[in-house]
């Protein structure tokens, strides 16, 4: 009986030792697993931290580039506005002072006229006055010609509605009908444009000339009708 009890005690003791050994092994395994997991988490955390830092650096770089581009855009926009404003001012000044070269060219002529008027009373030589005025007119004519302005020479030429404006008609047997007899008011051409028509007196057909012309027109019409028949 005592022997059996002893065996049971030994068996229980052995079982307890085995359980302790097993528990110790399990704890060791758990500890190793925990340690391994902590190492993996630490490594993963390091990787995530590096990735996060790289992402922050990229974001900061992009933000700086974006800021620089915005600054460049604002500068370009400001330069464009300034250039646009300068261009508008230049155009306004160009229109405002467009006549300046012409004015500068006629001022000497005005000065000559002014001096001539001031010396008319003191100058008893009419020929000298006439000569001075002719020089002034020639200078003024040349100045206008340099600007593309020319007189329309009409007297003695056939009447042309593009250049002449007839104020009246006169019978004149010495010239053909519709010939300019006199210029009442001079006309001018600016480059290729008539800016002022010459007002003229035009020769008129006589009664005989009108009759002859009418007869010619009737004969022409009759011949045309006969040819058609």
224 three-state secondary structure: helix
Q: Which residue has the tokens 């002859």?
A: 212
Q: Residue 122: CA atoms inside 13 Å, Cβ hemisphere, count? A: 5
pTM above 0.75?
Answer: no
Both 71 and 89 in a single domain? yes
Q: Are residues 11 and 86 in the same domain?
A: yes
Residue 52 shares a structural domain with residue 140? no
Together in a domain, 46 and 134: no
Closest-CA residue to 109 (of 133, 77, 130, 85): 133
> 216 and 200 in one domain?
yes
In contact, 179 and 158? CB cutoff 8 Å: yes
Kindly report, residue by residue over 53-103, the tens digit of the pLDDT. Answer: 888 889 999 999 999 999 999 999 999 999 999 999 999 988 888 888 888
- For the cut 70, the answer to whether the pLDDT of residue 19 exceeds it is no
Residue where a domain stops, chosen among 81, 97, 113:
97
Same domain, 212 and 179: yes
By the 8 A CB rule, do 215 and 182 touch? no
Domains held by the chain: number: 3
Same domain flag for 123 and 167: no
Cα distance between residue 82 and residue 104, in whole Å = 31
Q: What is the predicted pLDDT for the residue at 133?
A: 85
Q: Say if residue 12 is in the same domain as residue 63.
A: yes
**CATH number of the domain to which 157 belongs:** 2.30.22.10
When pLDDT is cut at 50, 70 and 90, the band that residue 224 belongs to is low
Cα separation, 143 vs 135, whole angstroms: 12
Query: Are 125 and 206 in a shared domain?
Result: no
- What tokens does 44 get? 């993963």
116 shares a domain with 28: no
How many Cβ atoms from other residues are within 10 Å of residue 13's Cβ?
Answer: 10
Domain containing 18: what range? Answer: 1-97
């Amino acid at each position: 009986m005592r022997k059996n009890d002893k065996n049971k005690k030994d068996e229980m003791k052995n079982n307890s030792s085995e359980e302790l050994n097993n528990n110790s092994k399990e704890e060791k395994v758990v500890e190793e697993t925990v340690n391994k997991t902590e190492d993996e988490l630490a490594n993963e955390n390091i990787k995530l931290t590096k990735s996060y830092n790289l992402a922050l650096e990229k974001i900061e770089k992009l933000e700086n580039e974006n800021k620089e581009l915005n600054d460049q855009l604002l500068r370009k926009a400001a330069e464009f506005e300034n250039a646009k404003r300068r261009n508008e001012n230049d155009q306004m000044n160009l229109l405002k002072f467009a006549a300046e070269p012409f004015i500068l060219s006629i001022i000497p002529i005005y000065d000559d006229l002014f001096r001539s008027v001031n010396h008319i009373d003191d100058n008893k030589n009419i020929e000298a006055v006439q000569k001075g005025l002719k020089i002034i007119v020639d200078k003024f004519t040349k100045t206008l010609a340099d600007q593309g302005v020319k007189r329309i020479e009409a007297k003695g030429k056939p009447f042309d509605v593009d250049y002449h404006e007839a104020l009246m008609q006169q019978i004149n047997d010495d010239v053909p009908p519709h010939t300019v007899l006199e210029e009442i008011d001079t006309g001018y051409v600016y480059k290729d444009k008539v800016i002022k028509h010459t007002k003229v007196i035009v020769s008129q057909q006589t009664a005989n000339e009108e009759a002859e012309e009418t007869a010619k027109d009737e004969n022409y019409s009759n011949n045309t009708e006969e040819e058609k028949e």
